[in-house]
Amino acid sequence: AGGLDALGVILPMLDSGLPVPVLIVQHISASSDSFIVTYFGKRCNLTVKEAEDKELLKPATVYFAPPDYHLLIDSDRTISLSNEEKVNFSRPSIDVLFETASWVYGNRLIGVLLTGANWDGSAGLEKIKNAGGLTIVQDPDTAEAARMPATALERFTPDYILTLEEIGQLLNRLFQIIPTR
């Protein structure tokens, strides 16, 4: 519910020198094709791809969870894909990614929760916060569907509550990147 539009604001703002990978869970149909990767690949300064099982994470790369697979991070910092049961009615689930990433990266992780129509992601984002990571929630007043960010705000206080433009700016600032555009 609004995720593609939200990502369409943030991802093109990120500079090609981003020194970290970006992992994204977008709730999509199990029968979706590679449209999302092609669409953002043409609009971003970063490499955009569908995540592959056992793939080593690389900086300046956006990894989208494939349709009907949970995206997890293994302790060796590789991607793991799973078709285990749905979590919060979703596969892929944001909570699954956030939880496994928090175990691996702890206080070196940044979690961002955007617009959405259910509560997926709020529990995982809270795990990131509890592990010492940085948490960012889209301001629900600016979200196409406020349920996801609002649910996170009901659970805990994130480090930042921002508009989409502010999120992109903050991510670049955190890595001291000045956009070349």
Q: Kindly give the residue spans of alpha helices, DSSP state H, lying in 47-116.
A: 94-105
The H helix count followed by the E strand count for the chain is 6, 8
- Rounded CA gap, 64 and 51, in Å? 6
Range from 1-10, 114-123, 128-137 that averages highest in pLDDT: 128-137
DSSP label of 169 = H
Which helix (H) or strand (E) covers residue 147, if one does? helix 147-155
pLDDT tens-digit readout, 131-166? 999 999 999 999 999 999 999 999 999 999 999 999
Distance of CA 55 to the CA centre of its chain: 17
Q: Is 22 in contact with 40 (CB distance < 8 Å)?
A: no
Query: pLDDT class for 177, splitting at 50, 70, 90?
Result: low
